Amino acid sequence: MRKVVDWINNFFEGIESFFIVLFIIVMLFLSFSQVILRLVFHIGFVWADDLLRHLVLWVGFIGASIATKKNKHINIDIFSRTLPLRAKPF
CB neighbours of 83 closer than 8 A, spacing ≥ 6? none
Global pTM? 0.76
Cβ-in-10-Å burial (0-12, 13-18, 19+) of 34 comes to middle
Distance CA 5, CA 11 (A): 10
Task: Report pLDDT digits (tens) over 33-81.
Answer: 999 999 999 998 999 999 999 999 999 999 999 998 888 888 777 777 7
